[in-house]
Structure 1
Amino acid sequence: MKIVLIGTVAGSLLGFRADLIKQLLLQEHQVYAFTSEYTQDDLKKIEALGAIPVTYDLNRGGLNPLSDIRATYLLSKKIKAIAPNLVFSYFAKPVIFGTLAAKIAKVPTVIGMLEGLGYTFTEQPEGLSKKTQLIKSVQVLLYKVALPQLDKIVFLNPDDPKDLLEEYSIEVKQVEVLGGIGLNLEDYPYSSIYPEQPTFIFIARLLAEKGIHDYIAAAKVVKGSYPETKFIVLGAIGKEALGALTEAELREITEANIVEYPGHVDNVPEWIAKSSVFVLPSYYREGVPRSTQEAMAIGRAVITTDVPGCRETVVDGVNGFLVEKWNPQALADKMIYFIEHPGQIEKMGYESYKIAQEKFDADKVNKRLLDILGL
């Protein structure tokens, strides 16, 4: 069979779809990997995997109807020239425009996957701005046009279909919930060695929605009672994003010894293994956060927020704790619990490891995804 995968950034395709592509090739399918943001090096890496790279134009962020219509038409021509049996698109704009292009190209089976509802569906403490509300209403309108055309729509968590399809009365043929795109667990080996000092780690872009400000506020509270506690932050500064942690703020808290910020690192699993507990106070509309899955695979207890996507990673009181969003004090209380009950760090960490083995093994997840794709 000829199978077309439509994504956006080639680096993301290589990072998160390589195992799926390998599985498809093992079944002797021909795989065409469509990307709209790429380098020549990325395209060579896709070829080295055994897939055929295809580039196309898509304005990932903007909402220009004329350029989107033109891009959809050109994309349909590229798809039609391949004449695939199946088109599988993922992320919001590829699901919308890839689906419409595949339908124009008369592809027999078209399936889309939404990995979280994203920024426009993320509740903000001060409410959504007028601009975000407008973008959201346009996005919902496009979903109403595109999603009914799909043979199946796949979500990662059970909250997203409720908050999108039910909330906006979008009729679709079939809904599947995958439960996370999974990890190659060999890359995240279990570690039962913990640091002497309680060490908490946050891994995400340093955005308000990812909970960086709540993490820092909680760290200050904990440091007041337990000054030896360590707080590590890994992630890039979101310079353009509203409410992101600024370089000046980061410098201030590192100089005050509130957090340790090593900058860009290539050995994230080693940093997780050097920590006691993983913390992600995100209120972003995640699918199922990958960083949390990585920490769980390595065997770390988790403190995260009781919001869609994040709540899929924690059984409260078993492998960690779910806390209310926008509540640094609740976060600090759970951190202090681990400091005062150090035996729970390893106990809950091992429970995380067991959950990751069961739910987030890429082999198992990809078998389920192949089943959903009818392959």
Structure 2
Amino acid sequence: MLIAWLNANPNPNFGGTELHTLQMIKELSKRKVPLVLLCAEGSYVDRNAPKGIEKFYLTIGNSLALYNTLKLYQLLKHIKPYVLVANNGKEYPNALLAGKLASVRVAFFRHMERMKNPLVRRFVFPYVDMFFAVSDHVRQKLIQEGVKPDKVRVIYNPVDEERFYYKPKEENSIRILFVGKLDEGKGIFDLLEAFRLLMTERKDVTLVYVGDGKHKESLFQRIHSLGLTQKVKLVGYTHNVEDYYRNAHVVVIPSKYTEAFPRVALEALACGCTLVASDVGGTKEAIIEGKNGFVFRAGDIEDLLLKLKLAIENWKSFSQASLELYRNKFSTDRVIDNFLGALQSLSKVI
């Protein structure tokens, strides 16, 4: 069952699809699943692909890359894969056309809630053999867009378990962690205000923000004006984010606008963190209410404060529940098993 994995965006830096591609092919390679990588030469995916992976180079920077669509078709005729897997929305039209011309099954990962381009929804989606949605929330959105339910499987994002793993947490202080873009829509100021209120009752808590964004300076100024510089730390971007997860007791995802399923939630579970998340998007799928965390109403600071207090009070038992949930539902082994099982079901296609 040879898989041709397409991620031909020439992006020299990483994004969600690049990280997903690399982790998936790494885990598939461990199981010795036959796989070739179709990527742009010099891209982040090319530079960081596991050693030993056979690569073919082409670039698809947009949906109108007709010359490279022809090149992709020629590669598929030469490689003769069981399935072509595309991981980036910009590649969908090219991948579908080349795959169908080459009589190859075509499967798309869907990381976002909605495909903005109506032409892709109208003329591409109906002809895809299978979609892999990164959450049940995304699955429901695809079905609402007209994709047949039996063509959509939920395959959660894999976590790099060599980096993200549990270690016992300090018991004399409580660390609250935010990981993500420092943008207002991510709820960073709501979290800060809830933390300020929490500080009136508890002195054993600290808050760490990991990430960069357009509101980083505004957040810094707000922290300073509240006199919280000794209790709130802005780390910025770091290559060692796993260290902060392992030391954190509670991870907060306070997004005010909908999320498909943030990788942060899975990394937090793998490190045994209690989760507190807003009620938008697919993040709720990582929480069993009152067992490993709590969901609060997006934008409601009082509700966030209440759920933070409860999470802190129960962090020890919640930490173990997060680990159990991760192992039973989101572990890398479970993700790869479900992915390969879904591919097997494509045998009747073509």
Shared fold (TM-score greater than 0.5)?
Answer: yes
2:326 paired with 1:364: no
Measured at CA, do residues 190 and 38 of structure 1 come closer, stay the same or move farther in structure 2, by a change above 3 Å?
A: same
User: Please, which runs of 5 or more residues in structure 2 have no aligned partner?
Assistant: none
Q: Distance in 2 between matches of 1:3 and 1:362?
A: 18
2:60 maps to amino acid: D
- Paired residue secondary structure (1:154): strand
Alignment match, 1:33: 38
> CA offset at residue 351 of structure 1?
0.1
Q: Distance in 2 between matches of 1:116 and 1:6?
A: 17
Partner of residue 307 from structure 2, selected from 328, 334, 349? 334
Q: Distance in 2 between matches of 1:173 and 1:37?
A: 38
Q: Distance in 1 between matches of 2:168 and 2:27?
A: 31
> CA offset at residue 173 of structure 1?
7.7
Q: Distance in 2 between matches of 1:182 and 1:210?
A: 23
1:143 maps to amino acid: R
Contact 1:236-1:264 at 8 Å conserved across structures: yes
Aligned ranges for residues 145-164 of structure 1 at < 5 Å? 145-164=123-142
Q: Distance in 2 between matches of 1:79 and 1:227?
A: 59
- Paired residue secondary structure (2:199): helix
Measured at CA, do residues 325 and 220 of structure 1 come closer, stay the same or move farther in structure 2, by a change above 3 Å?
A: same
2:84 maps to amino acid: V
User: Which whole-Å deviations, capped at 9, do the CAs of 1:12-33 have from their partners, x for residues lacking one?
Assistant: 5663333432454454524123
Q: Distance in 2 between matches of 1:307 and 1:247?
A: 26
Contact 1:96-1:143 at 8 Å conserved across structures: no
1:365 maps to amino acid: V
Partner of residue 21 from structure 2, selected from 2, 14, 17? 17
Measured at CA, do residues 229 and 23 of structure 1 come closer, stay the same or move farther in structure 2, by a change above 3 Å?
A: closer
2:302 maps to amino acid: Q
2:198 paired with 1:222: yes
Partner of residue 144 from structure 1, selected from 112, 122, 126? 122
Q: Structure 1 length normalisation: TM-score?
A: 0.79
Alignment match, 1:354: 324
Alignment match, 2:6: 6
2:341 maps to amino acid: D
Contact 2:169-2:248 at 8 Å conserved across structures: no
User: Which whole-Å deviations, capped at 9, do the CAs of 1:43-69 have from their partners, x for residues lacking one?
Assistant: 24326251304231314xxxxxxxx43
User: Which whole-Å deviations, capped at 9, do the CAs of 1:256-279 have from their partners, x for residues lacking one?
Assistant: 326211223222222122222111
1:114 maps to amino acid: R
2:107 paired with 1:111: yes
Partner of residue 259 from structure 2, selected from 286, 290, 309? 286
Contact 2:58-2:72 at 8 Å conserved across structures: no
Q: Distance in 1 between matches of 2:151 and 2:42?
A: 29
> CA offset at residue 171 of structure 1?
4.2
Aligned ranges for residues 1-375 of structure 1 at < 5 Å? 2-7=2-7, 8=9, 9=11, 11-12=14-15, 15-25=19-29, 26-27=31-32, 29-35=34-40, 38=43, 43-46=46-49, 48-59=51-62, 68-69=63-64, 71=65, 73-82=66-75, 83=77, 84-85=80-81, 86-103=83-100, 105-117=101-113, 136=116, 139-166=117-144, 168=145, 170-172=146-148, 174-237=150-213, 239=214, 245-254=215-224, 256-257=227-228, 259-339=232-312, 341=313, 344-374=314-344
1:55 maps to amino acid: L
> CA offset at residue 304 of structure 1?
0.6
- Paired residue secondary structure (2:112): coil
Alignment match, 1:126: none
Root mean square deviation of aligned Cα:
2.7
Give the stretch that moved more between structures: 345-354 or 205-214.
Answer: 205-214
1:21 maps to amino acid: I
Contact 2:272-2:323 at 8 Å conserved across structures: yes
The number of aligned residues is 333
Contact 1:3-1:29 at 8 Å conserved across structures: yes
Q: Distance in 2 between matches of 1:116 and 1:283?
A: 16
Measured at CA, do residues 154 and 92 of structure 1 come closer, stay the same or move farther in structure 2, by a change above 3 Å?
A: same
- Paired residue secondary structure (1:110): strand
User: Please, which runs of 5 or more residues in structure 1 have no aligned partner?
Assistant: 60-67, 121-135, 240-244
User: Which whole-Å deviations, capped at 9, do the CAs of 1:227-276 have from their partners, x for residues lacking one?
Assistant: 44211100121x3xxxxx24143244157326211223222222122222
Contact 1:184-1:361 at 8 Å conserved across structures: no
Segments ≥4 residues shifted beyond 6 Å:
none
Q: Distance in 2 between matches of 1:185 and 1:221?
A: 35
